[in-house]
């Protein structure tokens, strides 16, 4: 504003231009160890939302997890393999849900499924089909989202973060943000790569 007033001739100089900006600390990135990942995944082996936590630890953002649709998942029925495409993002802005495109152009990507993730997604698909049959006309979901409650409704992204905090406590692993869980994927892949060398 002061620089604009100088350009307009209302001020002779911008005194704020002499002030040095304070450096904001970089947010500390926290990831799980390979042992913690194994411990957490073992804890959610039979959990209704186990596949959500597999996705988080496979590098997906919270909005990508909650926005993922079954049409984006290609499962190989005969093997625990396949791909998933990040084509949707479900975010909360001012408490309202917005279904959008991926966060950036680079965020739109297709990833191979690990055997563990493929197995978790197959199990989730079967559980959702069973819930749809059990609830019949009371099943409220459209059947398109991968991460839903037992009535088929997609979760609010904030609810997934709440569940994540509870899960970390129950699994007895460090509390890290759901967003940071995605970075554990790279750390674990790097550790595994180093062991292969």
Over residues 113-136, the pLDDT tens digits come to 989 999 999 999 999 999 999 999
In a domain, 174, yes or no: yes
In a domain, 125, yes or no: yes
Q: Calculate the CA 17 to chain-centre distance.
A: 41
In a domain, 61, yes or no: yes
Residue 135 is part of a domain; what is its CATH number? Answer: 1.10.443.10
In a domain, 60, yes or no: yes
What's the DSSP call for residue 27? Answer: P
In a domain, 23, yes or no: no
Residue 142 CA to residue 64 CA, distance in Å, equals 18
What pLDDT digit, counting tens, does each position of 16-66 carry?
A: 887 887 777 776 778 899 899 999 999 999 999 999 999 999 999 999 999
Structural domain range at position 145 = 32-196
Q: How far apart are the first and last CA of the chain?
A: 56
What separation in angstroms does the CA of 110 have from each of 43, 74, 82, 86, 168?
A: 28, 10, 10, 6, 28
pTM of the model: 0.81
Q: How many residues does this entry show for the chain?
A: 197
Q: Which residue has the higher pLDDT, 85 or 193?
A: 85
SS3 1: coil
In a domain, 124, yes or no: yes
What pLDDT digit, counting tens, does each position of 164-186 carry?
A: 999 999 999 999 999 999 988 87
Q: What angle do CA 96, 153, 72 make, to 5 degrees?
A: 90
Judge whether 32 and 173 are in contact, CB under 8 Å: yes
The label of the residue with tokens 């197995």 reads 119
Count how many domains the chain has: 1
In a domain, 22, yes or no: no
What separation in angstroms does the CA of 173 have from each of 75, 148, 166, 181?
A: 30, 24, 11, 12
In a domain, 145, yes or no: yes
């Amino acid at each position: 504003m002061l620089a604009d007033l100088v350009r307009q001739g209302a001020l002779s100089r911008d005194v704020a231009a002499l002030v040095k900006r304070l450096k904001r600390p970089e947010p500390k990135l926290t990831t799980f160890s390979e042992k913690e990942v194994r411990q957490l995944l073992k804890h959610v082996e039979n959990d209704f939302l186990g596949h959500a936590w597999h996705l988080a630890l496979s590098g997906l953002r919270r909005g990508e997890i909650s926005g993922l649709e079954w049409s984006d998942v290609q499962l190989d029925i005969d093997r625990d393999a396949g791909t998933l495409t990040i084509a949707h993002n479900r975010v909360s802005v001012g408490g309202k849900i917005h279904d959008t495109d991926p966060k950036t152009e680079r965020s739109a990507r297709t990833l191979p499924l690990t055997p563990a993730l493929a197995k978790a997604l197959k199990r989730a698909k079967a559980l959702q089909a069973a819930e749809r049959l059990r609830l019949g006309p009371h099943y409220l979901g459209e059947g398109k989202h991968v991460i839903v409650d037992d009535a088929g409704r997609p979760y609010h992204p904030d609810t997934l973060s709440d569940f994540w905090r509870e899960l970390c406590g129950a699994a007895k692993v460090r509390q890290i943000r759901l967003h940071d869980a995605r970075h554990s994927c790279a750390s674990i892949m790097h550790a595994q790569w180093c062991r292969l060398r």
